[in-house]
Structure 1
Amino acid sequence: MTLTLRAINRVENEDIFLMIQEMGEGENGFVNSLLSDDLEMFYQKLHRNIEISQGINLGEGFVPQTLYWFFVDEQPVGYGKLRHHLNERLLEHGGHIGYAIRPSERKKGYGKLALKELVAKAVEKDINKILLTVNEENTPSRKVIEASNGELARIKDGVCNYWITINM
């Protein structure tokens, strides 16, 4: 089984839109900011996220982030966010990486593969100390992070901070 990452682009197919619909508003701290009932609005949100990845028109308190689709056998199974650097807010909640697997594709090992690929993308951006935050009760994600060499730094207000350090 091979999971591949693709950065979002301006031309996405309906399979991506349907995956976003299946994922809903998000859960366990992951916010599905692409959710829309309207395909045209979805494309507008994609365009806006491409601007964000380039640091264009960032709102106060926001940092550039790149969104990546996860594919297995050319089918979308989830997506992730890689924030290019941290600010005070992201140090508390959000971290460098956030990811989600669509409900119909969970419990197949895709989370661990996706995290591995996102860590590699972080290293490409010269980020070698990577923060992940996860709700304390989200045991499946905590296990994925711990299996990926994530070290628990603290638990505060129900949010766990994990660091993955890559020796370069």
Structure 2
Amino acid sequence: MTLALRELLEKEDESLLFMVQEIGSGENGFVNGLNSSSMEEFSSKVRRNYEMARSINLPDEYVPQTIYWLYHNGKPVGYGKLRHRLNEKLLESGGHIGYVIRPSERGNGYSKQMLAGLVKKACEKNISRVLLTCDETNLASRRIIEWNHGELSSIADGNCKYWIDTAARLE
């Protein structure tokens, strides 16, 4: 399986627009903020996310976040968000990492590899531990997190919190 994780650029192409449109508004707690009805709208959102990763014009209630595209044999199959730090809201729900695979590509093991790659990217950004949250009933997400050495720290109000030590994942 030839997979590649690539950081969002200031300008992106139409193949990524088609992917985010297929993903739709999001599900299972993942918000697809890149979903767009036109290339113009998508380009604007991409530019904004490029700036967010660099803390440019970042509102106080936001944290810097980098988006990574997952490609299989040159085709975009999903994307992930890596938040550089947490605020109170993200400590409760959202965590450092969120990811999604386009519906037509699910069931191929991409989520496991995406999360592993995002944990490595977190380590490269000197984030020693990452928090992931998911719904208690989302068994697929729980298995993916646990496969990536996520340690369950709590379950409250139907929300699971897992921590992954990033440095240990590089060994």
CA deviations on 1:4-45 (whole Å, 9 max, x unpaired) are 111111221211100000000000000000011111011000
Structure 1: distance between partners of 2:82 and 2:166: 16
Q: Does residue 98 of the first structure (1) align with residue 79 of the second (2)? A: no
Q: Which residue of 1 aligns with 2:157?
A: 157
Q: Which residue of 2 aligns with 1:24?
A: 24
Letter of the 1:3 counterpart:
L
- 8 Å CA contact retained: 1:61, 1:89: no
- 8 Å CA contact retained: 2:132, 2:163: yes
CA deviations on 1:101-125 (whole Å, 9 max, x unpaired) are 0111111000000000000000001
User: Can you give the 5+ residue segments of structure 1 that lack an aligned partner in the other structure?
Assistant: none
1:167 is displaced (CA, Å) by 4.1
- 8 Å CA contact retained: 1:52, 1:65: yes
Aligned pairs for 1:11-160 (under 5 A) are 11-160=11-160
How many residue pairs match? The answer is 168
TM-score of the superposition, structure 2-length normalised? 0.95
Structure 1: distance between partners of 2:141 and 2:167: 23
- 8 Å CA contact retained: 2:11, 2:47: no
- 8 Å CA contact retained: 2:63, 2:85: yes
User: Can you give the 5+ residue segments of structure 2 that lack an aligned partner in the other structure?
Assistant: none
Structure 1: distance between partners of 2:52 and 2:135: 25
Query: Secondary structure in 1 aligned to 2:98?
Result: strand
Letter of the 1:75 counterpart:
K
CA deviations on 1:115-164 (whole Å, 9 max, x unpaired) are 00000000001112110011112111111001110011111121110000
Query: Secondary structure in 2 aligned to 1:10?
Result: coil
Structure 2: distance between partners of 1:151 and 1:2: 28
- 8 Å CA contact retained: 2:122, 2:166: no
